[in-house]
Structure 1
Amino acid sequence: MEQHVQLGKAAAPTVVNSSAAFAVRGNIFPDGLYYTSIHVGNPPKQYFLDVDTGSDLTWIQCDAPCQSCAKGPNPLYKPTRSKIVSPRDSLCLEVQNNQNSGPCDSCQQCDYEIAYADHSSSMGVLARDDLQLMMVNKKQVTSSFVFGCAYDQQGQLSASPAKTDGILGLSSAKVSLPSQLSDQSIITNVVGHCIRENGGGYMFLGGDFVPRWGVTWVPMLSAATNYYQAEVAKVSYANRLLGARNKRSYLSKVVFDTGSSYTYFTNEMYTDLITSLKDISHGLAPDESDETLPVCWRASFPVRSVEDVRQFFDPLTLHFGKKLWIMPRIFQIPPEGYLIVNNKGNICLGILNGTEVHDGSTNILGDISLRGQLLVYDNLQRQVGWIPSDCAKPQKALDIPFLF
Structure 2
Amino acid sequence: MDSDKIKGVVVITLPPPDNPSLGKSVTAFTLTDDFPEPPGESVAVDQEVQQPNNDHLTLPPNLPIQAPLSQRSIPLSRELFAGTPRKLVFVLGIALAAVYLYASNFPETIRELRRSERNDDDRPSSFLFPLYFQSELGDSSDFQLKLGRTVRVNKDDLGVRFNDVLGVPKPSKLISASLKSDSSAVFPVRGDIYPDGLYYTYIMVGEPPRPYFLDIDTGSDLTWVQCDAPCSSCGKGRSPLYKPRRENVVSFKDSLCMEVQRNYDGDQCAACQQCNYEVQYADQSSSLGVLVKDEFTLRFSNGSLTKLNAIFGCAYDQQGLLLNTLSKTDGILGLSRAKVSLPSQLASRGIINNVVGHCLTGDPAGGGYLFLGDDFVPQWGMAWVAMLDSPSIDFYQTKVVRIDYGSIPLSLDTWGSSREQVVFDSGSSYTYFTKEAYYQLVANLEEVSAFGLILQDSSDTICWKTEQSIRSVKDVKHFFKPLTLQFGSRFWLVSTKLVILPENYLLINKEGNVCLGILDGSQVHDGSTIILGDNALRGKLVVYDNVNQRIGWTSSDCHNPRKIKHLPLF
TM-score under structure 2 length normalisation: 0.65
The separation in 1 between residues aligned to 2:329 and 2:485, in whole angstroms, is 32
Aligned partner (choices 272, 276, 301) of residue 444 of structure 2: 276
Corresponding residue of 2:566: 399
> Which is worse superposed, 279-288 or 253-262?
279-288
Counterpart residue type for residue 57 of structure 1: L
1:57 aligns with 2:225: no
1:130 offset after TM fit, Å? 0.5
Corresponding residue of 2:233: 68
The separation in 2 between residues aligned to 1:113 and 1:94, in whole angstroms, is 13
Matches within 5 A, 1:237-276: 237-244=405-412, 250-276=418-444
The separation in 2 between residues aligned to 1:98 and 1:178, in whole angstroms, is 22
The structure with more helix, counted as a fraction of residues = 2
The separation in 2 between residues aligned to 1:163 and 1:206, in whole angstroms, is 27
Corresponding residue of 2:259: 94
Indicate conservation of the 8 Å contact 1:265/1:363, yes or no: yes
Matches within 5 A, 1:90-169: 90-98=255-263, 102-159=267-324, 162-169=327-334
Aligned partner (choices 15, 19, 23) of residue 130 of structure 2: 23
1:244 offset after TM fit, Å? 4.0
The separation in 2 between residues aligned to 1:99 and 1:159, in whole angstroms, is 28
Indicate conservation of the 8 Å contact 1:244/1:250, yes or no: yes
Corresponding residue of 2:470: 303
The separation in 2 between residues aligned to 1:210 and 1:130, in whole angstroms, is 27
Counterpart residue type for residue 205 of structure 1: L
The separation in 2 between residues aligned to 1:245 and 1:90, in whole angstroms, is 41
TM-score under structure 1 length normalisation: 0.91
Indicate conservation of the 8 Å contact 1:143/1:181, yes or no: no
Aligned partner (choices 512, 515, 518) of residue 345 of structure 1: 512
The separation in 2 between residues aligned to 1:246 and 1:96, in whole angstroms, is 33
Counterpart residue type for residue 358 of structure 2: H
The separation in 2 between residues aligned to 1:46 and 1:122, in whole angstroms, is 20
1:397 offset after TM fit, Å? 2.1
Q: Which has the larger radius of gyration?
A: 2
Q: Deviations over 1:363-397 (max 9, x none)?
A: 00000000000000000000000000000021112
1:325 offset after TM fit, Å? 9.3
The structure with more strand, counted as a fraction of residues = 1
Q: Deviations over 1:50-78 (max 9, x none)?
A: 00000000000000010000010100000
The separation in 1 between residues aligned to 2:218 and 2:335, in whole angstroms, is 5
RMSD (Å), alpha carbons: 2.3
1:230 aligns with 2:398: yes
Indicate conservation of the 8 Å contact 1:87/1:105, yes or no: no
The separation in 1 between residues aligned to 2:359 and 2:125, in whole angstroms, is 19
Q: 1:104 to 1:381 in 2, by over 3 A?
A: same
Indicate conservation of the 8 Å contact 2:257/2:275, yes or no: yes
The separation in 1 between residues aligned to 2:477 and 2:216, in whole angstroms, is 28
Aligned partner (choices 480, 495, 501) of residue 328 of structure 1: 495
Indicate conservation of the 8 Å contact 2:279/2:288, yes or no: yes
1:32 offset after TM fit, Å? 2.1
The separation in 1 between residues aligned to 2:412 and 2:530, in whole angstroms, is 14
The separation in 2 between residues aligned to 1:56 and 1:160, in whole angstroms, is 18
The separation in 2 between residues aligned to 1:92 and 1:271, in whole angstroms, is 43
The separation in 2 between residues aligned to 1:31 and 1:240, in whole angstroms, is 28
Q: Deviations over 1:329-352 (max 9, x none)?
A: 000101012100122211011101
The separation in 1 between residues aligned to 2:294 and 2:485, in whole angstroms, is 41
SS where residue 522 of structure 2 aligns? helix
Counterpart residue type for residue 310 of structure 1: K
Q: 1:102 to 1:257 in 2, by over 3 A?
A: farther
Q: Which runs of 5+ in 1 are unaligned?
A: 1-13
Q: 1:324 to 1:271 in 2, by over 3 A?
A: closer
Counterpart residue type for residue 254 of structure 1: V
> Which is worse superposed, 133-142 or 70-79?
133-142
The separation in 2 between residues aligned to 1:114 and 1:228, in whole angstroms, is 18
1:183 offset after TM fit, Å? 1.0
Q: Deviations over 1:70-106 (max 9, x none)?
A: 0101000000010000000000000000455653322
Indicate conservation of the 8 Å contact 1:195/1:373, yes or no: yes
Counterpart residue type for residue 129 of structure 1: D
Indicate conservation of the 8 Å contact 2:401/2:489, yes or no: no
SS where residue 294 of structure 1 aligns? coil
1:81 aligns with 2:249: no
Q: 1:324 to 1:341 in 2, by over 3 A?
A: closer
Q: Deviations over 1:112-171 (max 9, x none)?
A: 001101111000000000011110133321121100000000011223761110000000
The separation in 2 between residues aligned to 1:341 and 1:166, in whole angstroms, is 27
Deviating above 6 A after TM superposition, structure 1's stretches of 4 or more consecutive aligned residues are none
Indicate conservation of the 8 Å contact 1:93/1:103, yes or no: no
The separation in 2 between residues aligned to 1:113 and 1:165, in whole angstroms, is 17
